[in-house]
Chains A and B, each alone.
Chain A
Amino acid sequence: MEQTNKKAWLYLLPAMAFLGIFLVYPLIDVFIYSLEEGYNSASQTYFGVGLYNYAYVLHDPYFLQALKNTFILVLITVPLSTGIALLISVGLSSIQKLRDLYQTVYFLPYVTNTLAVGLVFMILFKKTPYTDGLANLILSWFGAGPIDFIDGPYWAKMFVLCFYTVWVVMPFKILILTSALASVDQTYYNAARVDGTGKLRIFTRITLPMISPTLFYLIITGFIGAFKAYSDAVALFGTNLNAAQMNTIVGYVYDMLYGDSGGYPSYASAAAILLFAIVLTITCINLLVSRKHVHY
Chain B
Amino acid sequence: MDYEKLERSARLRSRAVKITTYALLTLWAVMVLFPFYWMVLTSVKSYGAYNSEWIPRLYTLSPTLQNYREAFTAVPLTGYFVNTILFTLATTGIMLVVTVLAAFAFARLNFQGKDLVFTLFLSLMMIPNELVVITNFVTITNAGLRNTFAGLILPSVTSVFYIYLLKENFAQIPDELYYAAKVDGTSDLKYLLRVMIPICRPTIVTVTILKVIECWNSYVWPRLITDDQAYFLVSNGIQEIRENGFGRDNIPAMMAAVVVISLPLIVLFLVFRKKIMAGVAQGGTKG
Say if the two chains contact directly (CB < 8 Å): yes
Q: Which of A5, A221, A229 contacts B112 (CB 8 A)?
A: A5
- Contacts of A6-33 to chain B: CB distance below 8 A: 7-9, 11-12, 14-16, 18-19, 21-27, 29-30, 33
Interface contact A91-B21, CB-CB below 8 Å: yes
A12 and B102 contact, CB distance less than 8 A: yes
Q: Choose the segment among A64-72, A122-130, A285-293 that binds chain B (4+ C-beta atoms closer than 8 Å).
A: A122-130
**Counting CB contacts under 8 A, is A202 at the interface?**
no
Give the residue of A12, A95, A168 whose beta carbon is less than 8 angstroms from that of B287.
Answer: A168
Least CB distance, A107 to chain B, in whole angstroms: 6
Closest to A24 in B: B124
A4 to B132, CA, bound (A): 33
Q: How near does chain B come to A247, taking the closest CB pair, in angstroms?
A: 14
Q: Which residue of B lies closest to A135 (CB)?
A: B56
7 closest cross-chain pairs (CB), A and B:
A225-B287, A26-B135, A26-B132, A15-B102, A11-B105, A8-B111, A8-B109
Other-chain residue from B17, B188, B249, B254 in contact with A119 (beta carbon distance below 8 A): B254
Could you tell me which residues of chain B, from 141 to 160, have a CB within 8 Å of some CB in chain A? 154-155, 157-158, 160
A225 adjacent to B265 (CB under 8 Å)? no
Q: Which B residues, 86 to 134, have Cβ-Cβ distances below 8 Å to chain A? A: 97-99, 101-102, 104-106, 109-112, 114, 117, 121, 124, 127-128, 130-134
Q: Which DSSP category, helix, strand, loop or mixed, fits chain A's interface? A: helix
Interface residue? A58 (CB, 8 A): no
Among B52, B54, B98, which residue has the most Cβ atoms of chain A within 10 A? B98
Q: Does A115 contact B (CB under 8 A)?
A: yes
Contact A269 B134 (CB under 8 A): yes
Known: A111-B276, A112-B266, A253-B130. A228 touches B24 (CB 8 A): no
- The reply on A268 being an interface residue by CB < 8 A is yes
The digit string for A131-157, where 1 denotes a CB below 8 A from any CB of B, is 111100100000000000000000000
- Shortest B116–chain A CB gap in Å is 13
- Residues from chain A with Cβ under 8 Å of B66 in the complex: none
Given A11-B102, A12-B105, A14-B98, check contact A23 B21 (CB 8 Å). Answer: no
A11-B102, A117-B36 known, 8 other contacts, Cβ within 8 Å:
A22-B136, A26-B139, A27-B127, A91-B21, A102-B29, A108-B32, A111-B268, A239-B223
Q: Tell me whether B262 is interfacial, beta carbon within 8 Å.
A: yes
Closest chain B CB from A229 CB (angstroms)? 7
A248–B22 CA distance with the chains assembled, in angstroms: 37
Binding site for A on B (CB under 8 A): 17-18, 21-22, 24-25, 28-29, 31-33, 35-36, 38-39, 42, 51-56, 97-99, 101-102, 104-106, 109-112, 114, 117, 121, 124, 127-128, 130-139, 154-155, 157-158, 160, 163, 188, 213, 216-217, 219-220, 223-224, 234-235, 238-239, 242-243, 249, 251, 254-255, 258, 261-262, 265-266, 268-270, 273, 276-277, 280-281, 284-287
Partner pick for B239 among A130, A239, A268, CB 8 A cutoff: A239
Give A contacts to B, CB under 8 Å: 1, 4-5, 7-9, 11-12, 14-16, 18-19, 21-27, 29-30, 33, 41, 84, 87-88, 91-92, 94-95, 102-117, 119-121, 123-124, 128, 130-134, 137, 167-170, 172, 175-176, 179, 199, 221, 224-226, 228-231, 234, 238-239, 250, 253-254, 257-258, 265, 268-269, 272-273, 275-276, 279
CB distance from A251 to the nearest CB of B (A): 10
**Interface of B (DSSP majority class):** helix
Question: Within the assembled complex, what's the spacing in Å between the Cα atoms of A58 and B205?
Answer: 45
Which listed residue (B25, B32, B261) contacts A113, Cβ 8 A? Answer: B261
By the criterion CB–CB under 8 Å, are A124 and B217 in contact? no
Cα(A117)–Cα(B257), bound, Å = 11
Cβ of A228 and Cβ of B128 under 8 Å apart? yes
Q: Are A179's CB and B101's CB within 8 A?
A: no
Give complex CA distance A131, B134 in Å.
Answer: 41
A95 to B238 alpha-carbon distance, docked (Å): 39
- CB contacts (< 8 Å) of B24 on chain A: these are 87-88, 91
Contacts of B132 in A (CB 8 A): 22-23, 26-27, 30
Whether the Cβ atoms of B158 and A91 lie closer than 8 Å is no
Query: By the criterion CB–CB under 8 Å, are B242 and A113 in contact?
Result: no
A88 to B160, CA, bound (A): 33
CB-based contact A94/B109 at 8 Å: no
A250 to B188, CA, bound (A): 44
Query: Looking at the complex, which one of B21, B31, B102, B277 makes contact with A94 (CB distance below 8 Å)?
Result: B21
Q: What B residues does A26 contact at CB under 8 A? A: 131-136, 139
User: Once the chains bind, are B238 and A108 in contact (CB under 8 Å)?
Assistant: no
A144 to B125, CA, bound (A): 48
Contact check, A124 vs B35: say whether CB atoms are below 8 A apart. Answer: yes
Q: A119-B254, A137-B56, A254-B224 are in contact. Are A11 and B265 (CB under 8 A)?
A: no
Which of A1, A15, A231 has the most chain B CB atoms closer than 10 A to its own CB? A15
Contact of B32 among A134, A167, A179, A253 (CB under 8 A): A167
Look across to chain A and name the residue whose beta carbon is closest to the beta carbon of B261.
A116
Nearest-neighbor residue (CB-CB) of A21 within chain B: B139
* Chain A proximity of B240: nearest CB distance (Å): 10
Asked whether B135 lies within 8 Å of A9 as measured between CB atoms, the reply is: no
